[in-house]
Structure 1
């Protein structure tokens, strides 16, 4: 891991983990030795980050110059916390982790009063069960959308019949009850919505459709408008 990436990862660990965080815990989180960890903390301090603590006690990030100060109203803080809580309740582990990281980063840039509002919002999201069932295909589909890579899938229709398809994944759609991938289907030569819970197998096809994704999305939206 490049040193810059390691320092950013160390900053994020200090934002997220309950303070004070021991050097051993930070070293484990960033994958370095204790000696390297102490050097990285010294580097962050030299760059302007205010880090309280010392060896044998633990560390606390007081001011984070890596992020600019945020001026959010109390209602904006409330909306942010509710939105991230909803994301965490979806049942998508990758997005849940990202939502927690966003809150930690924003909290690090708020004033003391607004930070307390973020930590103690008056509105709560309660969802006893995840909205969407877990899916091993989701990460593969997400990466393919980002990279504009074609996917080979085996898809089960509502009658239980399996078909082999090659699709160009454009977007993941979070409907009220289901996860869907919007894609261009090469078998049908048309836009199709595939329920992710009905995708039985998925793998990269090895072909790229870059840079067609934006153009395909525009065509799809134009068809919807028509």
Structure 2
């Protein structure tokens, strides 16, 4: 884990757990040795974080200067809580956990009254869990490839049942209650395609980068989609969204 990510995770743990938190518990939660934990505490203190306590007594985070005080209306707080809660109905576990961590981080910076409102927000999602096949591949690898503009090689079975191996430039994941899909530029078809994640049997990074094409590809896809939608609307009088080919 990168040093910055490790320190941020340590701050998150200290916000979530009842204080004071023992060094052993902090080390366990962050996945580091006690020696590394003590070094990380010292690093945070040197950066300005006010952390009370010491080894053998436990630690308490009394102030986090990395995040300025924030203020939200009660409706905004409920909207954030609902959005994070609803994500569990369409997102994967890793994405849902990240959203919950981010919400905890936001709540930790709120004034006490607003923090209490967030903890007792009345807005909740009652959406049933999605009935969709779990992915056979690691979504973290797909996200990594999207963020870093890396080519993926996938073993894929299309909607007609035909298998293929192809190299793709992954552009982004799309979530719905029924399916999880990946928008990509397919090097085999030389065009945009939407792949159903649960139809990808295997994937691997090829080591080839397609940087800096991603921004232009996403922009061109958005423009093409809008043009198709406009043409469909002009022809029928109904606002119909037109998707790129699904396989």
**TM-score, normalised to structure 2's length?**
0.80
Closer/same/farther in 2, CA of residues 210 and 36 from structure 1, 3 Å limit:
closer
* Equivalence for 2:143: 142
Closer/same/farther in 2, CA of residues 195 and 110 from structure 1, 3 Å limit:
same
- Tell me if 1:224 matches 2:228: no
* Equivalence for 1:71: 71
Aligned length: 226
Correspondences of 1:151-162 after superposition (within 5 Å): 151-162=152-163
Offset of residue 49 of structure 1: 3.2
Answer whether contact 1:151 1:203 (CA < 8 A) is retained: yes
Offset of residue 170 of structure 1: 0.8
Q: List structure 1 runs of 4+ shifted beyond 6 angstroms.
A: none
Q: Separation in 1 of the partners of 2:39 and 2:10?
A: 12
Answer whether contact 1:154 1:164 (CA < 8 A) is retained: yes
Give ranges in structure 2 of 5+ residues lacking alignment: 228-247
Give ranges in structure 1 of 5+ residues lacking alignment: none
Q: Separation in 1 of the partners of 2:18 and 2:218?
A: 42
Offset of residue 160 of structure 1: 1.7
Offset of residue 17 of structure 1: 2.9
- Tell me if 1:119 matches 2:126: no
Q: What are the Cα deviations for residues 21-66 of structure 1, in whole angstroms up to 9, with x where unaligned?
A: 2221002223444455456445545654344555555433332112
Offset of residue 154 of structure 1: 1.6
C-alpha RMSD over aligned residues = 2.4
Q: Separation in 2 of the partners of 1:39 and 1:152?
A: 41
**TM-score, normalised to structure 1's length?**
0.87
SS at match of 2:59: strand
- Tell me if 1:22 matches 2:14: no
